[in-house]
Structure 1
Amino acid sequence: MFNELDPQKGSLLISEPFMLDPRFLRSVILLCDHNSEGSLGFVLNNKTNVQIGQLLEPISTCTFPIYLGGPVAQESLFFVHSRFDLLLSGEEVAPNLYFGGDEEKLISAIQQHEIKTDEIKFFIGYSGWSTGQLDKEINENSWAVQNKYHHQIIFEGNGELLWKDAIIGLGPKYAHVANFPQSPELN
């Protein structure tokens, strides 16, 4: 159903609309690492009911949402951001988009209200693939790969809207997929 592009660091992976694995149904994943040893990314549109202030005492009043990044290492907290100017750290994933960074500078920036929800996203867990696994799944049409997008899509808070925008971003050939119902059997 989808086009096949080579995934790379910074790519968006967009799940096929009727994916059988419920953990990735209508998911958009930011691929933060993709190399000969495997791949790592974060589901961008699976918001939890947990806020970052509930997990980190120094910023207990912060209401930034936390997303379920994937089924691996769900006891760990991760983040992506667009504020290298504040954190002076993080691994560049795409232009003006960074994975991780200096936690002390992050906490200070949040305490000083210098960083906003449309500049950072927190995740519990991540999505991972072993060597060749992601390429196999792309060849099986489980994922579409999008390499050209505006980085602000990463920080979109509405999960269904994010998935639809990512599908539409694949071009006119795929835009109709954005209107597929989540549960076609209910139509």
Structure 2
Amino acid sequence: MDGLENIFRLGSNNIKPEKGKVLIAEPFLEGRYFKRSVVLLTEFSKEGAVGFVLNKPIHLNINELLTDLDVFESEVFVGGPVQNNQIYYLHTIPELIPNSFQIFNNLYWGGDFAILKELISNKKVEHDQIRFFAGYSGWNAGQLEDEIKENSWLVSSLEMKEIMALDNVDIWQKALIQLGGNYKVWANFPKDQNMN
């Protein structure tokens, strides 16, 4: 770890991970999936954790990936590196999609996909009620806790409208600014450490 990284490594904010919280990547976390990412935790237990990256669009609509789906203009996001050939979704319509799993308040994931397809065909789903992801992010028992101890992630909360927003390329910066204090420094840190 070089001196510059030591200056900006602020450490944990002491919020515990749990279902419904978000993980905010520290500026030095590298990798295609997690660099400057915000991940919504949809499951968290002693067995491990599951979540979806909220701010990595793949620039395709869902019906471009699932050709048997009627036209539905909803961009797909990279959910994470696990099973990235599968489609997952968050939604706010549990009364219409049975077998959904509650995350918090009126935010759910999964459910009966055949019924979702019918809802889309019958134009009973609005674009702001659903978000699609290719793959998910997963951690084995204790793995996420170790990454948090290593200061790879900050744990925080976001409002449902921020989670469901598709135009969220700056959600990483906004989430850090919302944390306040010295975390605002991270929000302005250049993507390339060699740039100044």
Same fold (TM over 0.5): yes
Question: In the alignment, is the contact (CA less than 8 A) between 2:39 and 2:53 conserved in 1?
Answer: yes
The structure with the largest helix share of the pair is 1
Cα deviation for residue 183 of structure 1 reads 1.7
Which of 65, 89, 109 in structure 1 is aligned with 2:75? Answer: 65
Alignment partner of 1:169 is 2:178: yes
Distance 1:121-1:131 versus aligned 2 partners, 3 A rule:
same
Superposition RMSD on alpha carbons, in Å?
1.7
**What is the alpha-carbon distance in structure 1 between the residues aligned to residue 192 and residue 169 of structure 2?**
13
Distance 1:159-1:18 versus aligned 2 partners, 3 A rule:
farther
**What is the alpha-carbon distance in structure 2 between the residues aligned to residue 45 and residue 67 of structure 1?**
7
Alignment partner of 1:29 is 2:64: no
**What is the alpha-carbon distance in structure 2 between the residues aligned to residue 160 and residue 153 of structure 1?**
11
Cα deviation for residue 38 of structure 1 reads 0.9
Cα deviation for residue 173 of structure 1 reads 4.0
Question: In the alignment, is the contact (CA less than 8 A) between 1:27 and 1:44 conserved in 2?
Answer: yes
Which of 163, 180, 184 in structure 1 is aligned with 2:189? Answer: 180
**What is the alpha-carbon distance in structure 2 between the residues aligned to residue 119 and residue 134 of structure 1?**
29
- Deviation string for 1:94-133 (max 9, x for gaps)? 1111010121221122223332232211111111111101
**Normalised TM-score (structure 2):** 0.87
**Normalised TM-score (structure 1):** 0.90
Aligned with 2:52: secondary structure? strand
Provide structure 1 residue ranges, at least 5 long, that are not aligned to the other structure.
Answer: none
Percent identical across equivalent pairs? Answer: 38
Provide structure 2 residue ranges, at least 5 long, that are not aligned to the other structure.
Answer: 1-9
1:87 corresponds in structure 2 to: 97
Distance 1:18-1:158 versus aligned 2 partners, 3 A rule:
farther
